[in-house]
Structure 1
Amino acid sequence: MEVILKEDVTNLGHKNDIVTVRPGYGRNYLIPRGIAILATESAKKVFAENKKQQAHKEEKIRNEAQELAKQLEGKKVTIGAKTSSTGKIFGSVNNIQIAEALEKDGFNIERKNISIAEDAVKEVGSYKAVVKLHRDVKVEIDFEVVSE
């Protein structure tokens, strides 16, 4: 079953992609929630026309994301956390704290666009996170967790 995605879906595709999914997944999950529409011939024609109109806007957004990526490249963020005497953090550091630290530096990035390479950051040290600014633009930033 082919569907046209109306929004980004993790591990499936991006907005306006035509993807093939199992019939039950499309019929029972994607279409009722408004995440996708059925890819009929008429829907594909409308989709092609909309894609032509969106191309210019998409290029502008991509260029803005690349400019932001250049500013973020080599950026190092410091995050303070309460720790024990051995250097273990009470709790863990996640994408919310990274987004807040970036916002203090003047970068407004949604937390859902930040992913940490490690499963959970539970100790003081240096780590890396990937910031997805656009479907084609990703930048890796370093962050350091220090004891408060």
Structure 2
Amino acid sequence: MAKSKRIQLVLNQDISKLGKFGDLVEVAPGYARNYLVPKNLAIAATPGILKQVERKREKERQRQLELKQQALEQQAILEKAGAFKIAKQAGEAESIFGTVTTQDVADVIQGSLNMEVDRRGITIPDISSLGTYEAEIKLHSDVTAKVNIEVVAS
């Protein structure tokens, strides 16, 4: 049985198990005709479309470079800032009531440096007593800042 001719398409968005936005893919004619093209998930690959996709990819690459540069600047500021102090009520043997959360860390950074940090990107150890701890803040997929958190009695 002869293999049917495959069609080249450019994806308009990410499709799992097929490719990312802008990828040139070869698919079966029925898949293209009945699913991808009618749902506007892909378009036929023409030289003009390929040039457009390349321009969009270049813009996205530039945008990612700018974001990484901003993240590197933030990393330098955070690591130069020294320890951030968080005051918690303490009991006997320097144990604290409650725990230090990622929101606490984000708030103290916002308060002292006026820099917005997403709390979901902050990783802290389990803090249950007074002392100094190291927190990691993911600023970009390639950039992570390490800051010291000093838990003091209030």
Instruction: Give the TM-score of the pair, scaled to structure 2.
Output: 0.65
Q: How many residues align?
A: 110
SS in 2 for 1:91: coil
Determine if the alignment matches structure 1 residue 93 to structure 2 residue 81: no
Deviation at 1:87, TM superposition (A): 1.0
Counterpart in the other structure of 1:69: 75
- The aligned residue for residue 124 of structure 1 is 130
For residues 100-144 of structure 1, what are the alpha-carbon distances to aligned partners after superposition, in whole Å with 9 as ceiling and x for unaligned?
10010111101001101x2x1000000000011100111100010
Aligned to 1:109: 117
Match of 2:140, SS? coil
Partner of 1:37: 15
Larger radius of gyration: 2
Q: TM-score, length-normalised on structure 1?
A: 0.67
1:134 aligns with 2:112: no
Identity %: 24
Deviations 1:2-61 (A, max 9, x none): xxxxxxxxxxxxxxxxxxxxxxxxxxxxxxxxxx63242685337x74533310111111
Alignment partner for residue 57 of structure 1, among 53, 63, 73? Answer: 63
Counterpart Cα distance in 2 of 1:42 and 1:115: 29
Alpha carbons of structure 1 residues 110 and 42: separation in structure 2 relative to 1, 3 Å: closer
1:84 and 1:147 map into 2 onto residues whose CA distance is: 9
Root mean square deviation of aligned Cα = 2.1
How far, CA to CA, are the matches of 1:138 and 1:59 in structure 2? Answer: 16
Structure 2: 5+ residue runs without aligned partners? Answer: 1-13, 25-41, 43-52
Q: Which amino acid aligns with 2:123?
A: S
Q: Tell me how far apart the structure 2 counterparts of residues 63 and 42 of structure 1 sit (CA, whole Å).
A: 24
Is there any run of 5+ residues in structure 1 with no aligned partner, and where?
1-35
CA contact (8 A) 1:128 1:143 kept: yes
Match of 2:29 in 1: none
Q: Is contact 1:74-1:142 (8 Å) kept?
A: no
More strand by share: 1
